[in-house]
Amino acid sequence: MTGYFIEDLEVGMEAGFDKTVSAQDITAFAEVTGDRNPVHLSEHYASKTFFKTRIAHGMLSAGFISAVLGTKLPGPGAVYMSQTLRFLAPVRIGDTVSTFARLTALDLVKKRAQFHCRCEVAGKTVVEGEAMVFVPSRSQ
């Protein structure tokens, strides 16, 4: 796995990641986080909501943003400082979530990079927000 140092980054760079969400992913996320909201775990319960079926945790999709930032751009060594999120639509079992992070601003002195982040299902944005990430330098 390779990544970028702060000196290698340029505004406009973008990276992405695709993941098809399974029932097992949702169950594992519930187990790890303790979020056992039945809208995520019970088809019977979820069928009575306006979603009509189980949906993935919003933070599961947000985790895909973390995957892009931590493994692709900027990659290994990057450390989250902040993240804003807007959840725009549900993610359902079987949906493929395409996640993108685009570099929008750099602070070379503080070694920080700002990214616009979005998750899409079939071309429709389901999550979007801004992330601030610490990026190591070569001279560290």
pTM over 0.85: yes
User: Given a cut of 80, is residue 54 above it in pLDDT?
Assistant: yes
DSSP conformation class of 95: P
List, in order of start, the domains of the chain with CATH numbers. 6-21+56-134 (3.10.129.10)
What mean pLDDT, rounded, does the chain reach?
A: 97
pLDDT tens digits, one per residue of 36-45: 999 999 999 9
pLDDT at 2: 80
- Average of per-residue pLDDT across 64-73: 97
Can you list the pairs that 1-5 forms with residues at least 24 positions away whose Cβ atoms lie under 8 Å? 1/71, 1/75, 1/76, 2/75, 2/76, 3/71, 3/72, 3/73, 3/74, 3/75, 3/76, 3/77, 3/78, 4/73, 4/74, 4/75, 4/135, 5/74, 5/135, 5/136, 5/137, 5/138
